[in-house]
Amino acid sequence: MDRAHRLVVVGAAPLIAAHRPGPETDPARLDRHASDVDVLHAPRAQRGTYQSSPRQGASDRDRSRPLATTSAAGRRAGAARHLATWRCGRALRRRECARRVHGRSVMIERILLLGASGDLTSRLLMPAIAELAEAELLPAGLRIVGSARRPWSTADFREHIATQLERHSKVAPATRDDVVRCLEYEPADVTRAEDVRRLVGGPERPGTLVYLALAPALIEPVLHALASAALGARDAVAIEKPFGVDLASARRLNGVLRCELPEPSIFRIDHFLSDELVRRVTALRFLNRIFEPVWNAVHVERVEISWLESLTLEGRAGYYDQAGALRDMVQSHLMEVMALVVMEPPSRADAASYRAARLEALRAVATPSLDEIRSRTLRARYTAGAIGTRRVPSYVDEPGVDPRRDTETYASLTLGIETMRWSGVPFTLRSGKAFATSAAEIAIHFRALPRYVRDTWPGVEPNTLRLGLTEPYVRVATTLDGPDGVAESRALELCASPPRRSVYANLMLDMLRGDPALFILGEEAEEAWRVIDPVIDAWHAGEVPMREYAAGASAPPSAERRRPTSIGATPQAP
Ligand SMILES: NC(=O)c1ccc[n+]([C@@H]2O[C@H](COP(=O)([O-])OP(=O)(O)OC[C@H]3O[C@@H](n4cnc5c(N)ncnc54)[C@H](OP(=O)(O)O)[C@@H]3O)[C@@H](O)[C@H]2O)c1
């Protein structure tokens, strides 16, 4: 096996998986090459096919008991009793979720879903679980226990999720039914420690992933409550973004978490990192020699990372009006995308090195001064307009919005990176809602050619490399010598394969396997807040005026059209 192939197979998923479809579904290849991948698949002869029809008259709890039990005899008896479980003819067996992470195993046998009646669960989490069930990638015997305050029974919860899956998932009806039969529900108030202890269970509980699909304000009390539930080495906690609401709160959350669980068992979610399109950034850089030599301040003039969407509030004013574009998109997602552009190649192809490289990239982002915030940030809010044929009211008139909060629906800031590679190159991050069309991409703008070349070939344009973040394109704007020596602009375009799975299915699969590579470190969240906090403070203090743009605008607000071509220090050779 050559060295490059070994890198692909062993722990290289975060860098490379987007370019190697389904290594985890190719057991033969893993068998041959991946000596340090623990158990990712069962030999065919050991894979069982279990019945999924529920016993007549069985209680909810009986029907949801997992089929896989600890002994072979127990499993046979379970099958004979026709208890409900995944149809897992070729599914990974339970141990297949276990993977050595920093010298220990994570083995998830139960998901405890806190916030089970919420939007995230309905639209993204349960469809992702159903998608994995359909792809036979769920561990046999996995149990899913949902919880929220509303006094639902398991039957109510199943009915609710069945309706949501019908609306938001494309899986076959049989898979949907199987998934729904595996659900249980227990009402609880997660701010009460005794409720959380009851949900988590005693020391004999199965390895549990506690998924906090809860509003940011609830995370700290829940973590304190979880601290009293004595989570163990086989348990894990998943925390939705945003991680904290500022630097101080992120530090407090990290403080509680560090006392409770080893870092690899804490999954701080930034779902952009699990997006196969976003992951292509590192694959493009590190699997192709041609880009890395020009990936620096000598050749790159500026970088723009944009996420403009035509969506408005979509019924989420309660959350969005407290967050705004800067917290919702820039602090988490776009800063992480920037880290993938900025980072050095990881020293090893493993999760720890990959995360450390991202963290180093964020550490290198200069904290903006007040003067820089005044001149290099922009906030704006949409006014009434039309997106296509849809009339959109002014943001402040949207139901659930409190105009006194002064929340922005568009945010843009330009940052400098203090490294030998990037010093002097402005990185502009921008995101906004209610634009005419959605447009999300990374644009790497290369420096202009020397003057004598431009004089000889008028019209010669600097190269730009564009990577789509919602569409799988990679485009390089190039110039060719056309007829009669006239420069001709041409685009080289690669169309990568579309993503195999939804983002949340990727994310869930990584957690079930205990692979932390695509989840942010506590310090990554803190570094992002270090950069964003002064901007939020300056905006709240009125240092940067709130601008306006009409809903349905085709471009960001005009003050931003002057493009920065340098920031901080002069470009140096790397
Ligand atoms: N929705 C999305 O598209 C999306 C995308 C990415 C990230 N996120 C993140 O995911 C998290 C959840 O978002 P969401 O949109 O699902 O919020 P949501 O729709 O408001 O749901 C919140 C859930 O929390 C439960 N809850 C509230 N207080 C509780 C308490 N004291 N004890 C127990 N349960 C309680 C609610 O149920 P009861 O009222 O019945 O208690 C509900 O199930 C947030 O951090 C958000 O930022 C959401």
Complete DSSP assignment for 189-258: -TTSHHHHHHHH--TTSPPEEEEE-S-HHHHHHHHHHHHTT---TT-EEEEPSS--SSHHHHHHHHHHHH
Within 500-542, where are the H helices? 503-513, 522-540
Nearest alpha-carbon partner for 113 in 195, 197, 212, 202: 212
Residue with the nearest Cα to atom 46 of ligand 1? 215
Ligand 1 center to 514 CA (angstroms): 24
pLDDT of residue 569: 54
Shared domain check, 119 and 217: yes
Q: Which residue has the tokens 């579309």?
A: 498
Ligand 1 center to 363 CA (angstroms): 31
* Residue 562 resides in a domain: no
Task: Write out residues with Cβ below 6 Å of ligand 1.
Answer: 115-120, 123, 148-150, 188-191, 213-216, 218, 240-241, 319
* Residue 253 resides in a domain: no
Shared domain check, 210 and 279: no
Nearest alpha-carbon partner for 101 in 26, 6, 37: 37
Ligand 1 center to 248 CA (angstroms): 22
Shared domain check, 225 and 209: yes
Shared domain check, 435 and 352: yes
Would strands 410-415 and 377-383 be described as parallel, antiparallel, or unpaired? antiparallel
> From the candidates 224, 333, 445, 540, which is the catalytic residue?
333
Shared domain check, 369 and 286: yes
Report the distance separating Cα 176 and Cα 166, nearest Å.
8
Active site residue 445: no
What total number of domains does the chain contain?
Answer: 3
Residue of 119, 192, 272 with the most ligand 1 atoms within 8 Å of its CB, for mutation: 119
Kindly tell me the sign of the dihedral angle through the C-alpha atoms of 471, 473, 474, 479. negative
Shared domain check, 281 and 422: yes
Ligand 1 center to 315 CA (angstroms): 13
**Contact by Cβ (8 Å): 91, 47:** yes
Q: Which residue has the tokens 């309706």?
A: 163
- The three-state secondary structure class of 530 is helix
Q: In sequence order, which residues have a C-beta less than 8 Å from that of residue 40 and are 6 or more positions away?
A: 24, 27, 30, 34, 92, 96, 99
pLDDT of residue 260: 72
* Residue 245 resides in a domain: no
What is the pLDDT tens value at each position of the chain, 574 positions in all? 333 333 322 233 334 333 333 333 333 333 333 322 222 232 333 333 222 333 333 333 333 333 233 344 444 444 333 322 333 333 333 333 344 333 344 579 999 999 999 999 999 999 999 999 999 999 888 999 999 999 999 999 999 999 999 999 999 999 999 999 999 999 999 999 999 999 999 888 999 999 999 998 899 999 999 988 888 888 999 999 999 999 999 999 999 988 777 777 899 999 999 999 999 999 999 999 999 999 999 999 999 999 999 999 988 898 899 999 999 999 999 999 999 999 999 999 999 999 999 999 999 999 999 999 999 999 999 999 999 999 999 999 999 999 999 999 999 999 999 999 999 999 999 999 999 999 999 999 999 999 998 888 888 899 999 999 999 999 999 998 888 778 888 999 988 888 899 999 999 999 999 999 999 999 999 999 999 999 999 999 999 999 999 999 998 887 666 677 777 654 444 4
Nearest alpha-carbon partner for 37 in 348, 501, 350: 350
pLDDT of residue 559: 63
Shared domain check, 231 and 182: yes
- Using the 3D structure, point to which of 225, 240, 255 is the last residue of a domain: 240
CB atoms inside a 10 Å sphere around CB 70:
9
Q: Which atom of ligand 1 is nearest to the CA of 242?
A: 47
Structure tokens at 100: 């050595």
- Using the 3D structure, point to which of 199, 221, 240 is the last residue of a domain: 240
**Domain extent at residue 104:** 38-240
* Residue 560 resides in a domain: no
pLDDT of residue 8: 29
Shared domain check, 129 and 10: no
Ligand 1 center to 322 CA (angstroms): 14
Q: What are phi and psi of 13, to 5 degrees?
A: -50, -45
Residue with the nearest Cα to atom 39 of ligand 1? 149
Residue with the nearest Cα to atom 23 of ligand 1? 115
